Amino acid sequence: IQGLSAIFFSSWLNLLLIFIPFGIISHFLWSPTVTFILNFISIIPLARMLGFVTEDISLRTGEVIGGLLNASFGNAVELIISIIALTKNLVVVVQASMLGSIISNLLLVLGMCFIGGGLKFKEQSFNVTVAQTSASLLFIAVSSLVVPAAFYSSSRDSMSPLDLSRVILNISRATAIILLIIYFSYLYFQVSLSLKIHATPKEIRHSQESLMKKIKKHLRCLHGWLFYCNLFLITVLVSISAEFLVSAIESVVEQWHISQTFVGLVLLPIVGNAAEHVSAVTVAIKNKMDLALSIAVGSSMQIALFVTPLMVLLGWILDVDMSLFFNIYETAVLFIAVIMVSYLIMDGKSNWLEGMMLCSVYIIIAISFYYYPD
């Protein structure tokens, strides 16, 4: 009982769990708008609990298996929502949510980290090598999105629309496989050389000791098998809430007079990343900027190199035309985000003004996509 209480009371976000039963009931009794809002709120604490349980299992199972678990469940909410949307052939929503998750982590989350930490400390420093490595991998992923867009622009006059779509789909599937290879290579690299590359030994020891003390303090009475049961239960609840959330999207788009692109790019990333937003800003305020960057930039990289190509391959299996083709505007926005972040982290220092810049750019992008047609 003590262990279970620790999970439920591990964060103030878990107060939002009371919305789960109302979200389920609303699907059968109430309007799509109410269903969307209630399930939108319900998924936020579930995402936090999923991260809490996954982190503990990762510590229990060792670095290699733990790394794979974090890869699988680190963005589980985005994965589940995207899979459900893909089965309903809402490709626009899936693509927009992938793009939105990357942009929100790079601009909004990182910007809030810089602001939160910068208001308390005049200037903060972080490991520039780690940050630049992640930014370089992100740049590779973003570059892969340019290829389908460039191919479309250069070939649309010489190929029929059907042939062009088929070729772009083939290019996307091949690229997705390559991106997954890069991602798992990076995972192996991270696990094998983490102590030398991803932070100073002192910082890693301090982070691990703090985390282990927290777990030992709150979870002494919780057996290992119960964690796996909780992981399964939380995943099921996320799936149910995500199913009802996605089912209401088309009605919400029609009633609110907004585009599916805006829902996927701005609203859905809030659901999947809310817990990470809070964690990243919290550690930034504690002057642990390396950890804050690993949450913000690392999550973006995971979406770009793992979740997005996985959705392309899953669409292939489900016979849904999910590709890496984004139009010029979407690709340009993503490039702006990656280049801006790469430039700001180049010196290994941050302040609140840089955070304001990142958040301002995100707000401008969000406003532009509010008026952007599907």
pLDDT tens track for 285-313: 999 898 888 888 888 888 999 999 999 99
At residue 314 the predicted structure's pLDDT band, cuts being 50, 70 and 90, is: very high
How much is the average pLDDT of 201-207?
48
Q: Is 27 exposed, middle or buried (0-12, 13-18, 19+ CB in 10 A)?
A: buried
**CATH number reported for the structural domain that contains residue 175 in this entry:** 1.20.1420.30
Supply the range of the domain harboring residue 108: 2-370
Measured between alpha carbons, how far is 82 from 242 in angstroms, rounded to an integer? Answer: 9
User: How far, in Å, CA of 41 to CA of 93, rounded?
Assistant: 19
- Non-local (6+) Cβ contacts of 290 within 8 A are 126, 127, 130, 199, 203
Question: Can you read off the two tokens belonging to residue 274?
Answer: 């809310």
Query: 235-250: per-residue pLDDT in tens?
Result: 899 999 999 999 999 9
φ, ψ of residue 74 in degrees (nearest 5): -60, -35
Instruction: Give the Cα separation of 81 and 116 in Å (integer).
Output: 30
Q: Which amino acid is at 65?
A: I
pLDDT at 202 over 60: no
pLDDT band at residue 6, thresholds of 50, 70 and 90? low
Helices (H) and strands (E) in the chain, counts: 18, 2
This prediction's pTM: 0.86
Our count of domains for the chain comes to: 1
Residue 147 contacts residue 357 (beta carbons within 8 Å): no
Could you list the beta-strand ranges (E) of the chain. 124-125, 349-350
pLDDT at 40: 94
Q: Is the pLDDT of residue 174 over 90?
A: yes
DSSP state of 159: S
User: Which tops the pLDDT comparison, 358 or 208?
Assistant: 358
pLDDT at 7 over 50: yes
pLDDT band at 57, cuts 50/70/90? low
Q: What are phi and psi of 240, to 5 degrees?
A: -65, -50
Between 121-135, 153-167, 217-231, the lowest mean confidence (pLDDT) is in 217-231
Determine whether 210 is exposed, middle or buried from the number of CB atoms within 10 Å of its CB (0-12, 13-18, 19+). Answer: exposed
Q: Tell me, what's the pLDDT at 201?
A: 45
Cα 61 to Cα 48, 67, 69, 300: the distances in Å are 20, 9, 9, 25
User: Taking 50 as the threshold, does the pLDDT of residue 259 lie above it?
Assistant: yes
Q: How far apart are CA 237 and CA 10, in angstroms?
A: 18
**Contact, 164 vs 155, CB < 8 A?**
yes
DSSP 345: T
Please spell the DSSP secondary structure of 216-236, one letter per residue.
HHH-TT--HHHHHHHHHHHHH
Q: How far, in Å, CA of 138 to CA of 338, rounded? A: 7
CA 359 to chain centre: 17
